[in-house]
Amino acid sequence: MTINNGQFTIKGTIFNIQKFSLHDGPGIRTTVFFKGCPLSCVWCHNPESINGNIETTFTEEKCIDCDICKGIRDISTAEKCPADAIETIGYKVSVDELFSEIEKDKEYYETSNGGVTFSGGEPLLQSDFLLEILKKCKENGIHTSIDTCGHVRQSDLEKINEYVDLYLYDLKLIDNELHKSYTALGNDLILENLKYLSEKGKRIFLRLPLIPEVTDTEKNISEIIEFLKGINFEQINLLSYHGYAKNKYIKLGMEYEMDLFKPTEAEWLEEIKNKFISAGFKTVIGG
């Protein structure tokens, strides 16, 4: 937060704005990626979103040994690196600055029934900033969606609810200990918040990342189906795991633990889809 002419200006920390997105809600969308997440999922495909601070990455193959950074890789040296071996991840942005980017594609939102999706990371970790940009979007007739892991304060959900048209809600594991093992935190809060949004009548798309032998097991699928019998939601999206994020982990100096994991077999993926459909749930592969 900064002070401008005696008034407070809230700033958020984001790391990417993706235009013409087709997989983060209905229609053509702009997806804004927030820095910071309470979870540390082993399979996270946006590892640059976990840390809420502005970071730098280093690509050794690009380094030309010019000694400008002298081994110090921070934001200031990233700007000076002649080979772009050091890159900055994340930047501060005001509500007005962010909205000016979002509204550029308003015509596409209107013709495709699209809008803006706030993703991450976990956008609700920056709830004050999120609230202000949501208000700005709604004041200007732009459809809003929140992509959330659900591990957030219910008071923050209450704060933004009236300005959110759609929640994209991640659901990974029902077993609390397994959830803790693979994401660093339990799922009690996640399940309670999903019940809360359901009771409030919010529009919800559930998203289930299918990780072989972790989330795509017969046991987990059965437990999810049983839990969802008491939840009101519009559809569930089954998301197959992919290894496209490996290079991000390398650049960030993070351990990549998913080399042994392969995408869910096509036949089993179709069977999982049919299990959800048989339980009465609209189910989509991908999205």
pLDDT along the chain (287 residues), means of 10: 56 97 96 98 95 89 82 67 87 97 97 97 98 98 98 98 98 98 98 98 97 95 97 96 86 86 88 97 94
Q: Strand, helix or coil at 248?
A: helix
Query: Nearest-CA neighbor of 118 among 198, 42, 184, 25?
Result: 25
- Record the tokens describing residue 239, joined without a space: 């998301």
Res 5: pLDDT: 41
Task: Domain 9-54+90-285: state its class.
Answer: alpha beta
**What does the domain layout of the chain look like in residue ranges?**
9-54+90-285, 55-88
Q: What angle, 0 to 180 degrees and rounded to 10, lies between the N-to-C axes of helices 218-228 and 266-278?
A: 20
Tokens 């009236």 belong to which residue? 162
Strands 204-210 and 166-170: parallel
Q: What is the rounded radius of gyration, in angstroms, for the C-alpha atoms of the chain?
A: 20
How far apart, in whole angstroms, are the C-alpha atoms of residue 73 and residue 84? 12
**Which of 145, 134, 149, 142 shows the shortest CA–CA distance to 38?**
149
DSSP letter, residue 47: G
Angle at 236 between CA 52 and CA 145, to 5 degrees: 45
Distances (CA, A) of 201 to 33, 138, 234: 26, 19, 11
Report the C-alpha gap between 249 and 267 in whole angstroms.
30
Cis omega (within 30 of 0) on the bond before 121?
Answer: yes
Q: Are 167 and 198 in contact (CB under 8 A)?
A: no
Tokens of 263: 């995408």
d(CA 196, CA 203): 12
